[in-house]
Amino acid sequence: MKYLKHWTGPLPDFKGFDPLPHWDIAEKYNLIDFKLGVKITGSGFPVFRGKGAKLERALINFFLQEAENAGYEEIMPPLMVNEETARATGQLPDKEAQMYHIKLDNFYLIPTAEVPVTNLLRGEILAKADLPVKLTAYTPCFRREAGSYGSDVKGLNRVHQFDKVEIVQIADPATSYEALQQMLDHVEQLLIKLELPYRILRLCGGDMGFTSALTYDFEVFSAAQKKWLEVSSVSNFETFQSNRLKLRYRDGDSKPQLAHTLNGSALALARIVAAILENNQDQDGVNIPKVLQDFTGFNRI
């Protein structure tokens, strides 16, 4: 992995008190109930309540509004997909162990909105003039996270159900890496507006999924835990997915060609909430980032 950029602003400086990890903040202010989630479902299914639920909803609305401002069309897709859909975007046969499978119907709960949203155009031949196609969706995401143990999974660090806003582009191969840079800039601006310390990583081949030609990860700093948490991956799949999708474009009367597909988290909410709670705390509460206050209706917890 190669670090491309570090946020150059100051990291949170806590004077006169030891900062709490987000799971303790959540319990102290009745924001997230992890024990109740275990009672209802099991470990990794948190219950957001009160101002915690409103903060989660505010982030969703903020991310969707920013995506709309950037020209993305909002989609509300199904949360379950069939085997053909999961295979087309590369989740099968690679990630069966991480997906929740409903055997009676042979459906899979989605691990990301990328899966149903990209499949909206499966089998289509688009006009070159209509590219890029820019789509966004908010969905809950479901991941088994088999084999995950220890401090890295505590609280919101790694959960089985989490909210995420995804952005997807179908692009002309000649300009797909310009589209990738636009998506990187979009995610970076979200983190800047949230005033969260972040860094951007370019993944080496061994760290990327087999479907991706190039992937960048974004991480935010978690002050109380003193660690960096991954909150977004932005990838160009070139023709890997479009070949499976039979997703092509045509320039005039020319022969159809495979398009390039790209997607990115913009953003995954669980760890964003964790970072906001930890980085913005003081001895008496938590300050809400200014950009979210119109969405939350309050400026402090």
- 22-81: per-residue pLDDT in tens? 999 999 999 999 999 999 999 999 999 999 999 999 999 999 999 999 999 999 999 999
Domains of the chain: 2-79+111-295 (3.30.930.10)
- Nearest in space to 71 (alpha carbons), one of 6, 167, 214: 167
pLDDT digits (tens, 9 = 90+) for 203-232: 886 666 778 899 999 999 998 999 999 999
DSSP letter for each residue of 219-279: EEEETTTTEEEEEEEEEEEETHHHHHHT-EEESTTSPPEEPEEEEEEEEEHHHHHHHHHHH
pLDDT at 1 over 60: no
Q: Looking at residues 119-148, what average pLDDT do you find?
A: 93
Cβ atoms of 11 and 221 within 8 Å: the answer is yes
Per-residue pLDDT at 8: 53
Assign 3-state DSSP to the chain and report helix, strand, coil percentages, each to 5: 35, 30, 35
Using the predicted structure, report yes or no on whether residue 136 has a pLDDT greater than 70.
Answer: yes
φ, ψ of residue 158 in degrees (nearest 5): -155, 110
At 156-170, the pLDDT tens digits run 999 999 999 999 999
Give tens-digit pLDDT for 223-278. 899 999 999 999 999 999 999 999 999 999 999 999 999 999 999 999 999 999 99
What is the pTM assigned to this prediction? 0.95
Q: What is the pLDDT at residue 18? A: 92
pLDDT at 94: 81
- Kindly state the percentage of the chain with pLDDT values over 70: 93
Q: 98-112, 127-141, 193-207: lowest mean pLDDT where?
A: 193-207
Q: Residues 93-122: what's their mean pLDDT?
A: 95
Q: Is residue 20 pLDDT above 80, yes or no?
A: yes
Q: How far is CA 86 from CA 77, 103, 139, 241, 255, in A?
A: 14, 14, 16, 11, 28
- What pLDDT shows up at residue 25? 98
Q: What is the per-residue pLDDT for 9?
A: 64
Evaluate if residue 150 carries a pLDDT over 80: no
Q: Is the dihedral of CA 51, 56, 62, 64 positive or negative?
A: negative
User: Residue 301 has what DSSP assignment?
Assistant: -
pLDDT > 80? residue 148: no
The catalytic site residues sit at: 143, 158, 230, 233, 271
Residues in a beta bridge with 261: 170, 238
Report the pLDDT averaged over residues 282-289. Answer: 96
Q: Which two tokens stand for residue 193?
A: 């507006």
